[in-house]
Amino acid sequence: MRKHEKIMEYVFLGVACVSILAVALICIYLFGNGIPAIAKIGFKEFVFGKIWKPSSEIYGIFSMIVGSLYVTAGAIIVGVPIGIFMAVFMARYCPKGLYRFLKPAVDLLASIPSVIYGFFGMAVIVPFVRDYIGGTGYSVLTASVLLGLMILPTIIGVSEASLRAVPENYYEGALALGATPERSIFRVVLPAAKSGVFAAVVLGVGRAIGETMAVVMMGGDEPVVPDSLLSGVRTMTTNIVMEMGYAAGLHSEALIATGVVLFVFILIINICFNILKGKKVQ
């Protein structure tokens, strides 16, 4: 038995080393090719430049950084509250008969390809926004709403699991002290599961930032700083996927450098969430 445990210990160690090696190789490739490109273009011109025109060797990604922020923030506003409330409903209120159908439906949402979400957005969300709100329909607003829907399965699944992991005596103890069922859930059970809920939000935000196909189909592909929710947008991921196929030379290096900025952007968001999570725990 001891021998088997030792073998599995080495197997797990090997898997962990492979994972670390993969992350290290990605970082080496990105930074090794992206940092020299930023140096050639100029950090200020690259990060704060508002014009992206490869034909004139002008590479400014500020509009795409702002676009990524807008779309991600919109997805958080749409997806996080709905996802958390849905998780609370499924964990505490949902009848067993309904849960048997609702749970597979949520899981199915997570397996739908991005391009199908994009088709749905173009057929339903875009015409609705165009007819009842204004603009062309391909905008920050429509991209945010669609991404908010796309991150729901992740937030719901992880948050529900965290809520179900909270011991039942937390809820019963709050009831015994005179709290209402709703107050017991939202003031006792949900705060006790906050670590898992934060993890769900981080995973959802990560998917929203990294999503490409749906934003290509819904955002309008306009490399300008959006001046309203109805303006077209191009995010950093969209910029990379739209031009990497034919880019060469400094243009290709600039797209890799965009990936570096995106990598740092995601890292900063994760650090901010961890800091906020630490403060909440205290």
Q: 166-221 pLDDT, tens per residue?
A: 888 888 888 888 888 888 888 888 888 888 888 888 888 888 888 878 888 888 87
The one-letter amino acid at 275: I
Of all residues in the chain, what percent carry a pLDDT higher than 90? 17
The pLDDT assigned to 232 comes to: 86
Q: HSE-up of 238 (CA within 13 Å, CB side)?
A: 25
The pLDDT assigned to 277 comes to: 66
Q: What is the pLDDT of residues 79-123, one digit of tens each?
A: 999 999 999 999 988 888 888 988 898 888 888 888 899 899 999
> The pTM is what?
0.83
Task: Report which of 77, 52, 188, 46 is spatially closest to residue 141, judged by C-alpha positions.
Answer: 77
Distance separating alpha carbons of residues 263 and 2, to the nearest angstrom: 42
